[in-house]
Structure 1
Amino acid sequence: MLTHPYAAFNQLEYDTTIRRCKTRPVKVGNVTIGGGHPVVVQSMINEDTLNIEGSVNAIRHLHEIGCEIVRVTVPSMAHAKALEGIKQELRQTYEDVPIVADVHHNGMKIALEVAKHIEKVRINPGLYVFEKPNSKRTEYTQSEFEEIGEKIGETLKPLIISLRDQGKAMRIGVNHGSLAERILFTYGDTPEGMVESALEFVRICEYLDFRNLVISMKASRVPVMIAAYRLISKRMNELGMDYPLHLGVTEAGDGEYGRIKSTAGIATLLADGIGDTIRVSLTESPEKEIPVCYSILQALGLRKTMVEYTACPSCGRTLFNLEKVLHQVREATKHLTGLDIAVMGCIVNGPGEMADADYGYVGKTPGYISLYRRREEIKKVPEDDGVEELISLIKADGLWVDP
């Protein structure tokens, strides 16, 4: 007799809380990634780092709307030196926002300069010791592979020691689209290649007793990104490593699909318990990324930074213009942090479907709105007064703050 795969479900107890993988805490200025701390939100300015005033304004704006660590790019030594002025200006005019700087393409000297001024350096293993691909090559011998590995270790050593001795952090940021040639020859263009590329750098750091590391496995294709993060999580567990992971779908694009693509990758892994910091990469102004990050975290119950709205999709039973009223309720209450508010069009969906909400706004009688505090109906009011009366109820409970 065949057993249905879901036959045992009613015998199990389900915990709706996401159980995050245990990782070590990594300090980045006054922010901690991993170690059970809330998932950290990151973004990146698109200002030229040489423009100190413009960069300071961009960093400050991102931080003010919820970005906790801000990334900048340092393509030259001049850009690296400009970081000193950016940090000084932030401290004098705002606050000391944690900054992570991108270093690419033989950026050894640049990275050492960067390490003097900011809290975290991001390097890409595929580009940090960059070698021009050889179109005539057909294989890498084991000795060639190891020889380049030794060169990487020698090149990376001064940066590791500098960061270690200053108590600063490094992100080993692997990108699917920029794996080193010898990794591609050995492992192919695969999640396994991405993982081995990261682990090679991790081992070099560990050899030098540096463990203030964050790892990322970014790809523009969501299935590749998910597979790579799951594999690095599995491999670290096997090796006794516990480094926090930075999640992101790189080059996700813009608009609705860019947001959906990023959410598909990031949320899937967070639901698995994988991930300690996130960045949504959109081809839009950087401040557009922050609301998406917080929406992902709120939807999964990992952070509560705004009102959670529950609303039915509307149908023939709906007794008022649900879309219009939901907009009115949201505009009136969106500044209140931490509340759950339900807007339901009829008695079928409310109050049953909104049992977990702090407040409910339900159409039970044509022309009237029933207002609920959790499961209890408090009063029935004319439809035109519904939003105002909801606000009055929140105020009576002492939970209202002015916008």
Structure 2
Amino acid sequence: MQTLPNPTTNRPLTDTTIHRRKTRPVKVGNITIGGGYPVVVQSMINEDTLDIDGSVAAIRRLHEIGCEIVRVTVPSMAHAKALAEIKQKLVATYQPVPLVADVHHNGMKIALEVAKHVDKVRINPGLYVFEKAKNTEYSQAEFDEIGDKIRETLEPLVVSLRDQGKAMRIGVNHGSLAERMLFTYGDTPKGMVESALEFIRICESLDFRNIVISLKASRVPVMVAAYRLMVQRMDELKMDYPLHLGVTEAGDGEYGRIKSTAGIAPLLADGIGDTIRVSITESPEKEIPVCYSILQALGLRKTMVEYVACPSCGRTLFNLEEVLHKVRDATKHLTGLDIAVMGCIVNGPGEMADADYGYVGKQPGFISLYRGREEIKKVPESEGVTELINLIKADDRWIDP
């Protein structure tokens, strides 16, 4: 029987490997985005950048739990200059951390200042240059005139970043498209893509290609469509820039996490995306576990134990939820392992075939422990977690918490 290709990736539907889109490597401090490197995790501090000590502490907190690139906002020249002190203090009291400055609202001078102190500058094409409201269609001449103004204001920043070997993120937001893009292309993914391409072409004309692209939206279907269209257009234009994925303003709690995952995961599964940020209305530290969970679930990064567990049913021979919590509490500090907790023998060995270790209920009051597909021993349920740990230790795969 013929296997049809996946309409998005053009690969066989039976292909279970994620084939990441080939992109150019872009250095951000000591981290590389794209170029086949692991998908990078980012977040952003909430502190006012004028608060030097508070900002340093916030950056350090994020970095210590796995955030690889940290973004800060620079709404004024004073904030931009404060980044010099923040960077120096990080080096003196902790270590260098890749920093990105967020520049908005006619921030040409601010961007030039902050480019001296950070590793990457993020600009929003819809806000970088002031466009006087016209509230009507734009002629080609008017459209091009504004494009010339954009080039004039962007060129010094591009040259500065190019000469320093630093990077830029061209960060388009659906909610802040420039007016002429709205009137020309509509409030659409196409408008987002064309906005990004306009800035990319300016950078390329100045021989600057240390660029990362993002096209964020608060509505998942818009966000996903924009990234897919961007990839299509870049392929047509022989561009290979890495992509920064994120659903902006996703909200908080369970829904915020689900919404972010719904937008980021399908693109990563299709090989699209080189760095991600989960934007939830909670402390930035809460974003990092969500990022790693998404990457772990897709097999793109292995940063924690992968737990395989059945949902429980009438055949289950122990309190599965309780036991899973006990197993997780005892082993969650390990990395690179797959551990299965299965309630009965019906699905156990088959469903957990890819796991390194299995904890299976085979008869009331007893647990069978597996190494891969091989049953190693049967122990009383009360000793199950302890004996699982002993098995991992016997294989020299245990580390103390």
TM-score by length of 1: 0.97
Is 1:130 matched up with 2:130?
yes
The residue number in structure 2 matching 1:258 is 256
Q: Distance in 2 between the 1:319 and 1:338 partners? A: 28
Q: Distance in 2 between the 1:303 and 1:285 partners? A: 23
Q: Identify which of 323, 329, 332 aligns with 2:330.
A: 332
The residue number in structure 2 matching 1:54 is 54
The residue number in structure 1 matching 2:9 is none
The offset of 1:9, in angstroms, is 4.1
The residue number in structure 2 matching 1:31 is 31
Q: Distance in 2 between the 1:359 and 1:28 partners? A: 38
Paired residue total:
395
The offset of 1:20, in angstroms, is 0.4
The residue number in structure 2 matching 1:160 is 158
Q: Identify which of 4, 8, 11 aligns with 2:2.
A: 8
Contact residue 104 and residue 124 of structure 2 kept, 8 A: yes
Q: Distance in 2 between the 1:10 and 1:162 partners? A: 49
Given residue 335 of structure 2, which amino acid in structure 1 is its aligned partner?
T
Q: Distance in 2 between the 1:184 and 1:376 partners? A: 61
Distance 1:393 1:21, change over 3 A: same
Is 1:203 matched up with 2:197?
no
Distance 1:13 1:75, change over 3 A: closer
Contact residue 104 and residue 128 of structure 2 kept, 8 A: yes
The offset of 1:34, in angstroms, is 0.2
Q: Distance in 2 between the 1:380 and 1:368 partners? A: 7
What secondary structure sits across from 1:292 in the alignment? Answer: helix
Q: Distance in 2 between the 1:8 and 1:312 partners? A: 33
Given residue 172 of structure 1, which amino acid in structure 2 is its aligned partner?
I
The C-alpha deviation readout for 1:289-316, integer Å capped at 9, x for no partner, is: 0000000000000000000000000000
The residue number in structure 1 matching 2:380 is 382
The C-alpha deviation readout for 1:75-118, integer Å capped at 9, x for no partner, is: 00000000000000000011100000100001000000000000
Given residue 225 of structure 1, which amino acid in structure 2 is its aligned partner?
M
Q: Identify which of 241, 256, 268 aligns with 1:243.
A: 241
Contact residue 3 and residue 14 of structure 2 kept, 8 A: no
Stretches of structure 1 that go unaligned for 5 or more consecutive residues are 1-6
Given residue 206 of structure 2, which amino acid in structure 1 is its aligned partner?
L
The C-alpha deviation readout for 1:320-345, integer Å capped at 9, x for no partner, is: 00000000000000000000000000
The residue number in structure 2 matching 1:81 is 81
The residue number in structure 1 matching 2:90 is 90
The offset of 1:13, in angstroms, is 7.8
Q: Distance in 2 between the 1:188 and 1:28 partners? A: 33
Contact residue 303 and residue 335 of structure 2 kept, 8 A: yes
Contact residue 45 and residue 71 of structure 2 kept, 8 A: yes
The residue number in structure 2 matching 1:359 is 357
Q: Distance in 1 between the 2:4 and 2:236 partners? A: 33
Is 1:303 matched up with 2:301?
yes
The residue number in structure 2 matching 1:3 is none
Q: Distance in 2 between the 1:35 and 1:170 partners? A: 16
Stretches of structure 2 that go unaligned for 5 or more consecutive residues are 6-11
Given residue 151 of structure 1, which amino acid in structure 2 is its aligned partner?
K
The offset of 1:139, in angstroms, is 1.2
Deviates more, 1:125-134 or 1:109-118: 125-134
What secondary structure sits across from 1:117 in the alignment? Answer: coil
The C-alpha deviation readout for 1:254-293, integer Å capped at 9, x for no partner, is: 0011000000000010011100000000000000000000
The offset of 1:17, in angstroms, is 1.3
The residue number in structure 2 matching 1:105 is 105
In angstroms, what is the RMSD of aligned CA positions?
1.1
The C-alpha deviation readout for 1:199-218, integer Å capped at 9, x for no partner, is: 00000000000000000000
The C-alpha deviation readout for 1:37-87, integer Å capped at 9, x for no partner, is: 000000000000000000000000000000000000000000000000000
Given residue 390 of structure 2, which amino acid in structure 1 is its aligned partner?
S
TM-score by length of 2: 0.97
Contact residue 131 and residue 146 of structure 2 kept, 8 A: no
The offset of 1:374, in angstroms, is 0.3
Distance 1:13 1:161, change over 3 A: closer
The residue number in structure 1 matching 2:117 is 117
The residue number in structure 1 matching 2:170 is 172
The residue number in structure 1 matching 2:138 is 140
The residue number in structure 2 matching 1:321 is 319
Q: Distance in 2 between the 1:119 and 1:10 partners? A: 44
The residue number in structure 2 matching 1:221 is 219
Given residue 273 of structure 1, which amino acid in structure 2 is its aligned partner?
G
The residue number in structure 2 matching 1:4 is none
The residue number in structure 2 matching 1:231 is 229
What secondary structure sits across from 1:302 in the alignment? Answer: coil
The offset of 1:146, in angstroms, is 0.1
Q: Distance in 1 between the 2:274 and 2:179 partners? A: 30
The residue number in structure 2 matching 1:267 is 265
Given residue 24 of structure 1, which amino acid in structure 2 is its aligned partner?
R
